Amino acid sequence: MKKLIFGFALLLSSQLGVAQTYYPLADPCDPDKVFDKLPSAAYDNTCVYLLRMSSQPFNKFPMEVFRYPNLKELTVQNANISAVPIDAYLLDNLEVLDLSNNNLTSIPNTIGDMKKLRKLILRNNKLNTLPVTIANCKNLEELDITGNPITFLPNEINNLQALTTFKFSGNEVKNPKYLLDLVRQMKNITSLDLSGCNLNFVPSDVKYLTKLTELNLSNNNIHFLPSELGMLTNLQTLILGDDASSGNRIYDLPTSFSNLRNLRNLQAPNNGFVDFPMVLCSLPKLEVLNLSNNKIQELPAEVSMMSGLNKLNIMNNQLADVPDELAALSRLTQFDFSGNQFTGEVQQKILRMMSGETTTAPAEKATRAKKVKAPAKKKAASKKK
């Protein structure tokens, strides 16, 4: 009997060993795992860090997200949400909150209690302002309120000293001076998007945004730029228009542009340029230049001074030729030139330039060859003497 009991115990222990082999303990949480829908009820709620949901039929804020105490990123896009609960502050580990493309008309004051928030993205809602308490989000680095009918922003927004990216495109603040007075106090702003804001001028106060590396002024009603723009010496990308829609009506650039020694990318399609802005020739570090859909009639020979250029777009202008000096741009790898008044001969000339071939005419080549060979003959004659 004892042997039977001992054998049964031995069998049971071996079965337990097998059970552990086939049913191991749960793996540790994966902080990089992204959920695109609410996890099942059986899932460990403490292991949900990244929740990115789009186009799901919520129609109201999904209260289930409060189950996840370690949630760091919450995205709820295209969900027809009209309100954010005041309990949102309970998501106290949240670093990224993206509620784009909904029907939000306001944000609760408790947003200021989300101390770890780094990015707040509220694109394409129905907001007309932001709560004063947003100033308490001391770690906020990016604020995107693009495409909202915002008419007023509280001065307290200037307390966001960690803010580096501010996207304000498509809003309805009518007074550019008020807007720049507000933004100029954001001392650490490096990226500013004021596109599509119906601006008819750029205030001289733009000079205070000295840390800007990217500025987007496209799709406004701007006719000229202030000379103070040349004081933004850290600027690397300047967008004055885009290919998809009408830009501004800028017809020239101030001479102070020559101070933008760090400018790498200038986008100015769909503007009012008739002449090539010569001041650009003093920017040897400029790499990308887009002047498409303007009315430029001539490229100057001085374009050869833009030695850093590797992408040039002059599509849909009124050019009839390009200078031979264009061949000196050894780094140019992309040249878009369709939509001009180029003959087939000029187009062949451009293709030869881009392939690295000389563009000198055959007759001129022969003349140059004779000039080179002449001294050699004289030297040979002197040897015979």
pLDDT at position 245 is 76
How confident is the model over 249-278, as pLDDT tens digits? 999 999 999 999 999 999 999 999 999 999
Residues with pLDDT less than 50, the chain? 1-26, 359-385
Distance CA 102, CA 61 (A): 10
How confident is the model over 181-191, as pLDDT tens digits? 777 778 789 99
56-91 b/e with 16+ CB inside 10 Å = b? eebeebbeebeebeebbbbbbbebebeebeeebbeb
298-308 b/e with 16+ CB inside 10 Å = b? ebeeebbbbee
pLDDT at position 158 is 85
**Token pair of 45 as six digits:** 């709620």
Cβ 143 vs Cβ 165: under 8 Å: yes
E strand map for 48-137? 50-54, 73-77, 96-98, 119-121
Distance CA 124, CA 374 (A): 73
Cβ 188 vs Cβ 209: under 8 Å: no
264-291 b/e with 16+ CB inside 10 Å = b? bbbbbbbbebeebbebbbbbeebbbbbb
Cβ 199 vs Cβ 217: under 8 Å: yes
Question: In degrees to the nearest 10, what's the CA dihedral of 72, 76, 82, 84?
Answer: -10
Task: Show the domains of the chain with their CATH numbers.
Answer: 30-141 (3.80.10.10)
pLDDT at position 17 is 46
pLDDT at position 27 is 56
Cβ 239 vs Cβ 216: under 8 Å: yes
Q: Return mean pLDDT, the chain.
A: 86
pLDDT at position 19 is 43
pLDDT at position 176 is 78
pLDDT at position 159 is 87
